[in-house]
Structure 1
Amino acid sequence: MLTSSSQARRAIPAVDTLLKAPAFGVLIHDFGRPLVLDCLRKLLADQRKRLAGERSAAVPDDDTLAAECRERLSVAARPSLRPVFNLTGTVLHTNLGRALYPAEAVAAASQAMARPVNLEYDIDGAGRGERDSHVEERLLRLTGAEAAVVVNNNAAAVYLTLNTVAGGGREVVVSRGELVEIGGAFRVPEIMASAGCVLREVGTTNRTHPRDFESALGERTAALMKVHASNYEIRGFTAEVPAAELARIAHAGGVPMIEDLGCGMLVDLEDFGLPHEPTPRESIAAGADLVTFSGDKLLGGPQCGIIVGRKDLVARIRKNPMKRALRLDKVRLAALEAVLALYDDPQRLRTRLPTIRLLTRKADEIAAQANRVRSAMQQAVGEGVAVDVAECASQIGSGALPVDTLPSSGLRLSPLNQRGGAVDALADSFRRLPVPVIGRIRDGALWLDFRCLDESQESEFTSQLHELQLPGD
């Protein structure tokens, strides 16, 4: 029934009255009285503002108000951290969580969350234990190092290493060409300053020689450092000092050599038909005294930073007061132990470790999957968008092998009407699906690279396409 706006505003039921209505009783059962009360007050305030601007309006009934309230509460209750489909073509996508856990790590992490564990308890000795001991022996076997310690990410590993070895204003000598910036404007020189050491640059951007390091050695020198170049590669007229040579120079000068591998892989990727990535074992064999690397990149485990190397230096790192602030929690330790256990049988990594499985998917297998999905996709987007199966190139991501790509396939979605940001609007529609689909925009089309669409998730992907709401629908 239409009434004047003033009459309509007076006709809106009171909050207490509405809360006693059956429809709101269901809401209180589902969401709790405090949330329903807060949502209802805001909803009624919005209704009064709307009615004030209309000459005549209908007063919403209880069921309509309850339906609106439920919709608002459902949106508010939706988790902020949600699963997505990574169809960007970047396997280790930093913004999308990097490496996926293998089933063994998921089970181990779940058990550590649900039950007490011997995190810092020595069961055999019935006394206090060391949390890193749960993974240290495996790391030593896999890297050839004397000792190991783990922290919450590789940035923390680098920080803790530098702070321990060179804190207090001592110098760390690094090639100018290795002063990298990684995601989030995180720069090696800045972390050095934060760690309390002084950066000593040597060489030039494209060429650094052994003599540059030798001439930089002095009383204030605490370490020589080699940094793996993440996200870029210098080509052409270049020269760098190999790790073995840098270690020789450092040891001749009586200081340790530190190598930050950034990504770090525990086995030779060439065994899986992939380009070579430096391993911690190679660094240790070359003479590095301390090596830092990540757990959630090529290694395929949880976010963590791993430090391996000389026993005396690792012991000093473990005693650093900042180690407690940067230590790893029980859940990630459990997951890391499970992932490291998979490396006992490297030949099975292709099937058991999601990172290796995704990186080694065959192009024809991915193309077949894209062909299977194409018709359902075309039906979902309608005649206004051309859908083609197209070859594309995936990348590893997270600073690993930045210039190497992997042949892949996917769907190229091209709006026939290119005016008014049509491609951006199309991409936005896919991000609004129940499980958001994240692709990439290139050459006036939305590309969905199927390399990371696990075949076990294919039906889940296609079943939600009918909910796609394109602009103008």
Structure 2
Amino acid sequence: MSEVTSIELKSLMARVPSVERVMASAGLAPLVAQHGRTQALAALRRILDDWRREAQAGRASVDALDETRLAQAVGAALEERARSKVRAVFNLTGTVLHTNLGRALLPDDAVQSVVEAMTRPANLEFDLATGSRGDRDDLIDELICELTGAEAATVVNNNAAAVLLVLSALASKKEVVVSRGELVEIGGAFRIPDIMSRAGAKLREVGTTNRTHLKDYDEAIGTRTALLMKVHCSNYAISGFTKEVALNDLSVLAKSRNVPVAVDLGSGTLVDLTQWGLPRETTVRETIEGGADVVTFSGDKLLGGPQAGLIVGRRELIAKIKKHPLKRALRVGKLTLAALEPVLRLYRAPEFLRERLTTLRLLTRAADDMRHTAERVAPALQHAIGAEFAIEVEPMFSQIGSGALPVDVLPSYGLTIRLASGKRGGRQINRVEKLLRSLPRPVIGRIADDALRLDVRCLEPHDEAAFIAQLQPEQPAQANDA
């Protein structure tokens, strides 16, 4: 429609029904009952305002003012408004512990524990034995110490917070000696030098990027030295002409100079992963036995629990850390503790860990199992995207993710989507990726080498039916230009 004259516009505006009449219509009644009059009224007014603007531009249709259509428009607007911003997705990226997709998935025991904590009062800071106020760390302190060999433990909201708290409590206005090769940056531009500065500690770099010797630490220790710190370089690797000081040797030096050793393990693990064919990763217990006085690590990475930062070590140092004012600001709530405790309990029976801990189950999933999954979902996916594209079941490589062993890959299987013509199809492949990402439960893959790759490692059998079902609606969406 072209621009309207003032007379035509006046005529169009006269066709706009009264808000009260539409609100009293049969089509709005169920929406008011479900969403409330306040939201339904606001949605209707927005829709009518939008129509008026379109009318002024000559683009409005009077058919849109039909009460049935207005009710449908209000319903769609309210449904979109009510949709949670946090949505479940299918993680077919090939990265198991995907930071952007929530990292570790909790096992059933942890989920049920969280539901219980959300819906009923709990003894978060109440000592049931004495009837007096308790310490929330008491809920998991004994269990963590049992699994790590540490004397004491505390928990904060993530490992970055754990490092910040340790430095603030033990090294404020003093020096911390760190190898230059361990001054890492992790996700979100979290840099060890920056966090030291924010904690009020002074960084003392020793060695070079690729080689640091014990004498470098020895020569750096002075009257203002508060800590010797080792940072586990879990998100990158240096190879070739390299040298780092083993924790055992560093701890001997530290004890002779009466200086504590702190170790940031990053992702952290409580068990030897090689027993399941996974790459070697130093455990927290090995780090404690190697002489570390304080160790920090994550709860939502290799440990397989909720987002948390765990601090373990010598009793007197942990006590000092817990007394620092930042501890209250960084402490975790009841939901984190409710999820963390059941996950930690699983480690008491390592022989069952592979089947009960979701993260470990995904990391160790059998190749044939993944291949069969890919073969089962391929037909539905082909039907959804159309004959313009070819789908192949192919071997792939997954990653552990979240900075855990980034140079190691896990043999996997998945689906590769390319143009059936064999031509390069960047624009078309991007369109398929967007189509899958716009599904009710979005499918998240990765584009590489002119193909969309959907690694099915994290698509477990209990989710297959839901995955296939949304690819087969009554009128399946096609990834074409129509």
Q: Same fold (TM over 0.5)?
A: yes
Partner of 2:168: 163
1:62-461 → structure 2 map (5 Å cutoff) = 62-167=67-172, 169-416=173-420, 418=424, 421-461=427-467
Measured on the aligned residues, the alpha-carbon RMSD in Å equals: 1.4
Q: Deviations over 1:9-58 (max 9, x none)?
A: 21111212211112112211121111111111111011112222338843
1:5–1:57 Cα contact (<8 Å) kept: no
Measure the CA separation in 2 of the matches of 1:254 and 1:79: 53
Q: How many residues align?
A: 470
2:272–2:280 Cα contact (<8 Å) kept: yes
Shift of 1:6: 3.2
Secondary structure of the corresponding residue to residue 312 of structure 2? strand
1:6–1:52 Cα contact (<8 Å) kept: no
Measure the CA separation in 2 of the matches of 1:112 and 1:423: 44
Shift of 1:96: 0.4
Measure the CA separation in 1 of the matches of 2:343 and 2:197: 34
Measure the CA separation in 1 of the matches of 2:19 and 2:259: 73
Measure the CA separation in 2 of the matches of 1:370 and 1:14: 55
2:262–2:295 Cα contact (<8 Å) kept: yes
Q: Percent identity?
A: 52
Q: Which amino acid aligns with 1:117?
A: A
1:4–1:56 Cα contact (<8 Å) kept: no
Measure the CA separation in 2 of the matches of 1:248 and 1:421: 59
Q: Which amino acid aligns with 1:360?
A: T
Normalised to the residue count of structure 2, the TM-score between the two structures is 0.95
Measure the CA separation in 2 of the matches of 1:55 and 1:360: 57
Shift of 1:380: 1.3
Q: Deviations over 1:120-167 (max 9, x none)?
A: 111111101111111111111111111111111111111111111101
Measure the CA separation in 2 of the matches of 1:300 and 1:55: 54
Shift of 1:250: 1.5
Q: Residue 43 of structure 1 is aligned with which of 44, 47, 64?
A: 47
Q: Which amino acid aligns with 1:171?
A: E
Measure the CA separation in 2 of the matches of 1:262 and 1:271: 21
2:418–2:425 Cα contact (<8 Å) kept: no
Instruction: Tell me: CA distance 1:142–1:55, structure 2 relative to 1, closer, same or farther (3 Å).
Output: closer
Shift of 1:418: 4.2
1:166–1:196 Cα contact (<8 Å) kept: yes
Measure the CA separation in 2 of the matches of 1:57 and 1:182: 53
Instruction: Tell me: CA distance 1:18–1:56, structure 2 relative to 1, closer, same or farther (3 Å).
Output: closer
Q: Deviations over 1:378-397 (max 9, x none)?
A: 11111111111011100000
Measure the CA separation in 1 of the matches of 2:150 and 2:324: 20
Instruction: Tell me: CA distance 1:203–1:45, structure 2 relative to 1, closer, same or farther (3 Å).
Output: same
Q: Deviations over 1:335-387 (max 9, x none)?
A: 11101111110010110000000000011211111111111211111111111
Shift of 1:260: 0.4
1:4–1:55 Cα contact (<8 Å) kept: no
1:462-473 → structure 2 map (5 Å cutoff) = 462-467=468-473, 468-473=477-482
Measure the CA separation in 2 of the matches of 1:244 and 1:296: 27
Partner of 2:3: none
Instruction: Tell me: CA distance 1:220–1:10, structure 2 relative to 1, closer, same or farther (3 Å).
Output: same
Secondary structure of the corresponding residue to residue 414 of structure 2? strand
Q: Which amino acid aligns with 1:460?
A: A
1:119–1:131 Cα contact (<8 Å) kept: yes
Secondary structure of the corresponding residue to residue 397 of structure 1? coil
Instruction: Tell me: CA distance 1:56–1:348, structure 2 relative to 1, closer, same or farther (3 Å).
Output: closer
